[in-house]
Amino acid sequence: MDSREIEQVDWNKSFDTGIEQIDLQHRRIVEMINQLIADAPSAKGEVITQILQAMRRYIAEHFSYEEYLMREAGYKYLRQHTALHQRFIDKVGELVVAHEQGSLNHDTMIQFLLSWLLDHIGHEDQDYVQSVKLLQTK
C-alpha cells in the first residue's frame, strides 16, 4: 500500500452551519473519517468493512435528518439535495463491495470520502442553512 500519509481533518469554520444538531452530526462524521485515516494503514480488512458500514449507517441517518429539516423548511432544492445524498450512499455501498473484493485502494477510498464530504458540508449543506434557520426562529 501507498505509505504516504493522509492528514487528519481539522474542523474548519466554513463547515459550521450554526444549526446545533447538524453541526454535532457533521463533527461526528469528520471524527469517523479521522478514525478511518488513523486505522486504515494497519487495520484488517474486516475492521475497515465495519468502519465503512458504521459510517454509511450514521451518514444515512444524518441525511434523513437533514432531509426532514429541509422538507419542514420548504427548502426549494430538497429534491436535488436528496439526490446528492442518495448518490453518495450508493457510492459508499460500492466502496464496501470493492473493498470486500480486495480491489479498493485505501487512499483512493479516503480521498473520495474526504473530498465529497468536506465539499458537501462546506458548500451544498450551507445552501439550506438560511431556510432552516428561518424555520427555527418562527
Q: Does an H or E element contain 45, and which?
A: helix 45-73
C-alpha 70/C-alpha 57 separation (Å) is 20
Long-range contacts of 58-64 (CB under 8 A, 24+ apart): 58/28, 58/29, 58/32, 59/29, 59/88, 59/89, 59/92, 60/89, 62/25, 62/26, 62/29, 63/88, 63/89
40's CB contacts (< 8 A; 6+ apart) are 48, 106, 109, 110
The CB-of-25 to Fe ion minimum distance in angstroms stands at: 7
Given the rule CB under 5 A, which of 35-43, 58-66, 96-104, 109-117 is the region that contacts Fe ion?
Answer: 58-66
The CB-of-120 to Fe ion minimum distance in angstroms stands at: 6
Given the rule CB under 5 A, which of 35-43, 53-61, 64-72, 108-116 is the region that contacts Fe ion?
Answer: 64-72
Q: Is 125 in the site for Fe ion (CB under 5 A)?
A: yes
C-alpha 30/C-alpha 53 separation (Å) is 15
Contact string (CB under 5 A) for Fe ion, positions 8-47, x = contact: ----------------------------------------
Q: Is 67 in the site for Fe ion (CB under 5 A)?
A: no
C-alpha 37/C-alpha 114 separation (Å) is 10
The CB-of-57 to Fe ion minimum distance in angstroms stands at: 15
By beta-carbon proximity to Fe ion, the closer residue of 26 and 106 is: 26
By beta-carbon proximity to Fe ion, the closer residue of 40 and 89 is: 89
**CB-based closest residue to Fe ion:** 125
The residues that touch Fe ion, with contacts defined as CB under 5 A, are: 66, 125
